[in-house]
Amino acid sequence: MTSPVGASAGAGRDGVVAARRLARWLGLAATPTFAMMALLTAVLGEGPADMLCGAAHGSLLGGMVPMYLLMSAFHSAAWLRLISE
């Protein structure tokens, strides 16, 4: 028979492991999701949100497509970690 303290410690450890696995998969999902959003935004054209984010109309960094590409690049660490393992 296990004590209540031992049972809750085991359950807590399982929860931590599950949370880490979920966080890893979410990290892997971010990069392709942002890349697809950039592609769809570029293909489907400018919308009202692009006008809001594109305040500097002459800048290369203005608009939603560059923002999604930058977000994709910033979230690529999970993929680089997976490739290096």
pLDDT for the residue numbered 81: 87
d(CA 70, CA 74): 6
d(CA 52, CA 64): 9
Place of tokens 């970690």: 81
pLDDT in tens, 62-81: 678 888 898 999 889 888 88
- Grade residue 53 by pLDDT with cuts at 50, 70 and 90: low
d(CA 46, CA 43): 9
C-beta of residue 76 within 8 angstroms of C-beta of residue 31: yes
pLDDT in tens, 2-36: 445 445 556 688 889 999 888 888 888 989 999 99
d(CA 75, CA 34): 9
